[in-house]
Every structure is written in structure tokens, then in C-alpha cells.
Structure 1
Amino acid sequence: MAGEETHKVGERGQVTLPKHLREALDIDGGDEVTIREEDGKIVIERPVSRKVLAEGYRRRAEQYGAITEEMGDTSREANAYLAGSPDW
């Protein structure tokens, strides 16, 4: 793994994040991070902010709205095309 470093875990279970990583990921003292176990590894990452999460939901809603509109148009076209077909 490139850039791999070894650090000691303190008696209280603490590890200091190296400065170059804190700077690269814009993590400052007092910031919250999310810590989880994943496939036998400890993963530390910045939590998703409410603003970023809201933006993702807004984009998804726009996508669904566009799909709904497209399907409505397709349904209207199909109804017009099949207008003379028997009702089964």
C-alpha cells in the first residue's frame, strides 16, 4: 500500500491521524469522523454533511421526475396508438 505508515495506539485507544492526511482530507481538530469495521479493516472517513445529503436527494428527485414525465409521455403515445384496440 502506497504511503503506508505505522503508528502506536495509546493506552486509551487513541491514534493521531498524520498531518498530511488531515490536510488532504480537510479534517481539523474538533471535526467529527465516522469509524467502522469493513472486511477486517478500520475505516475512518468524514461523515456526509446534511447539505451534501440533501443535494443528493434533490438530484435523485429530479431524475425520478424526469423518468416519470418520460413514462407519462410514452403512456400517452401508447394510448393514442392503441385507441382502436379491444379492451381486454
Structure 2
Amino acid sequence: MPEHKRKVGDRGQVTIPKELRDRRGIKGGDEVEFVEVNNEIVIKPPTDEERLAEGYRKRAERSRELAEEMEEASAEATEHLGDAPGWSE
């Protein structure tokens, strides 16, 4: 991983290199977190609650789609094969 050196401005500002911003999905206006770890300063994007929620929504939607597919497959199997012998609800 290449090192990226930047000068700290008089007000403590540093520009995050574009390559790193692009790779980590950091855009202008985003907030980042500064964490001190083993005498180093780590800059990381915070967990974006909306991005996290969107991931959960997509996963829930995929689960619904799979459940519908399974229900259709089960109905099709029952239609072609009949109920399983000895099966009671």
C-alpha cells in the first residue's frame, strides 16, 4: 500500500488523498472519525446509519423474495407430486 504524505495547514487541516477517499467512499461534506490507536491517528468514515439501514432493507427484501420463490416451488411440487404420504398438518 503506497504511503500518502500531506502537509498539515496552519489550522490543522489535512486533505485526504483522492485515491483513499474514492476507495473508502468518502465524499465532500461527509464526517470522518479520528481515533488514536497505538500512538497513531486513524481516520475512518463513521458507520453511516442510513447506509447500514439500506443494507438491512435489501437483505429483508431478498429474504421475502426467497420465501416467495420457495412457496411457489412448494406449491408446484405439491401440484405435480401431491401431498407427501403420511403428512398431516
When normalised by structure 2's length, the TM-score is 0.56
Aligned to 1:62: 61
Question: How far apart are the structure 2 equivalents of 1:77 and 1:43?
Answer: 55
Q: List gaps (5 residues or longer) in structure 1.
A: 8-15
Tell whether the 8 Å contact from 1:33 to 1:47 is kept in structure 2 after alignment. yes
1:52 maps to a residue whose letter is R
Q: CA deviation at 1:20?
A: 3.5
- State the match for 1:81 in structure 2: 80
Q: Which moved more, 1:78-87 or 1:46-55?
A: 78-87
List alignment gaps of at least 5 residues for structure 2.
Answer: none
Are the equivalent residues in 2 in contact too, given 1:34–1:47 (CA < 8 A)?
no
How far is the alpha carbon of 1:32 from its aligned partner?
A: 4.3
TM-superposition CA deviations, 1:23-81 (whole Å, max 9, x none): x43366xx3427486xxx97532012121111111111111110000000011111122
- The residue number in structure 2 matching 1:33 is 33
Contact map agreement 2:32 2:44 (CA 8 A) in 1: no
What percentage of residue pairs aligned between the two structures are identical? 31
| 2:5 aligned counterpart, secondary structure | coil
Amino acid at match of 1:83: G
**What root-mean-square deviation, in Å, do the aligned CA atoms of Structure 1 and Structure 2 show?**
3.5
